[in-house]
Amino acid sequence: MVAQRTREVEISGIRKMFEAAPPNSINLGLGEPDFDPAPEVIEALCTAVRSGKNHYGPSAGIPELRDKIAERYRELDPGTLRENVIVTAGGSEGLMTAALALYDPGTEVLVPNPGFVLYAPHAKLAGAVPVPYSLYPAQKYIPDFDELERLVSPRTRAIVVNSPSNPTGAVFPRSVVDRIVAFADRHNLTIVSDEVYEDIVYGTTATSFWGRSDRVVIANSFSKTLAMTGWRLGFLVAPKSYAAALNKIHYHILACPSTPVQVAVLAGIGNGSSSFQAMLKEFKARRELVTRLLGKMPGLSLVPPQGAFYAFPHFDWHRSSAEVAHALLARGVITTPGDAFGSLGASHLRISFAASQKAIRDGLKILQTYADEVAK
């Protein structure tokens, strides 16, 4: 018999759509850059493997990489050291590690609704209760602080935040970050800030939560910025008072992160920026394209994404988001039903623009035809 906890979580709706899709479907579903890592990073991986960097390393990551990450975060908090950094198997493992290290059974965790698919299940797997806080298009998917005050209870342990957001594309202005920090401090909450899209922004900058509170854990990843979702590398940045506990859980999940991948990423952090700039430029062009094409569709409205690579249009077609996504899938385009991200994702579709401009044009043509039909 399998454990009860396996019944409390599901495979995400993103994966389900992907796995149900016929071959040759246009993929506007998955959130991964359709780029390769920079050539020098690929080369560094090959060299690392050939030169024998194929063995276990320290649980929290190789010191050189931890130092490099700490150096970057010193801009936000001059006291940041290697000891504050734990290298993880992507943001996903970092988030799971944070949940198991921070949430006690029976405590409550505020999670965004709509929000990324891991936060609520991770809280449940830790035995905690996810308490969704609402993000509405009319407020540009910024939290409502009156609602947060109503939701917080003596059992609340943490708040999970994600800016730039998957799926909404919202980027919290600095003033909102300040208010979240003040709210968390007032209620003794730990902030778990998922910043995996921090560098993927359009005409704005994302404000990190690091250095703003003594109780904040940053989850970050190389998956998106270095276009290496399959390499599985990310990191946590945490106050020293949390780092030992996080590292203990991380050790029990993973033993240690991949040694050759860490060596290769070290090369990428220093040299990968021109590849990143080229990728960002292309994402900007795609964002314009998606925003323009969605803007023409009847019954559909969009808060233009300020970050990440998703458009999250709201529709008023009196159909469920699963119905719409399945109808589109039958016509050859994969999207993600908005309610895969929580109840307030209903009447939304998530359209990933981590796909070529041709795929976006072809996929959104199908959506346009569908929108014209249902609007009649």
The residues binding ligand PLP (CB under 6 A) are 31, 90-92, 116, 162, 166, 194, 196, 221, 223, 229, 234
CB nearer to ligand PLP: pick between 109 and 371: 109
Cβ–Cβ under 8 Å, residues 235 and 76 = no
Least separation, in Å, of the C-beta of 148 and ligand PLP? 20
CB nearer to ligand PLP: pick between 158 and 371: 158
Cβ neighbours for 267, distance < 8 A, ≥ 6 positions apart = 40, 41, 43, 44
Least separation, in Å, of the C-beta of 369 and ligand PLP? 29
Task: Name the closest residue to ligand PLP (Cβ).
Answer: 90
Least separation, in Å, of the C-beta of 296 and ligand PLP? 27
CA–CA separation, 57 vs 259, rounded Å? 6
Q: What is the DSSP string of 91-107?
A: HHHHHHHHHHHHPPTT-
Cβ–Cβ under 8 Å, residues 239 and 345 = no
Least separation, in Å, of the C-beta of 30 and ligand PLP? 8
Least separation, in Å, of the C-beta of 52 and ligand PLP? 27
Q: Which of 195, 211, 365 is nearest to 296 (CA)?
A: 365
CB nearer to ligand PLP: pick between 125 and 327: 125
CB nearer to ligand PLP: pick between 236 and 303: 236
CB nearer to ligand PLP: pick between 233 and 297: 233
Least separation, in Å, of the C-beta of 227 and ligand PLP? 11
Q: Which of 69, 81, 102 is nearest to 192 (CA)?
A: 102
CA–CA separation, 166 vs 160, rounded Å? 13
SS3 label, residue 171: coil
For residue 224, the one-letter residue type is K
- Please count the residues of the chain: 376
CB nearer to ligand PLP: pick between 93 and 282: 93
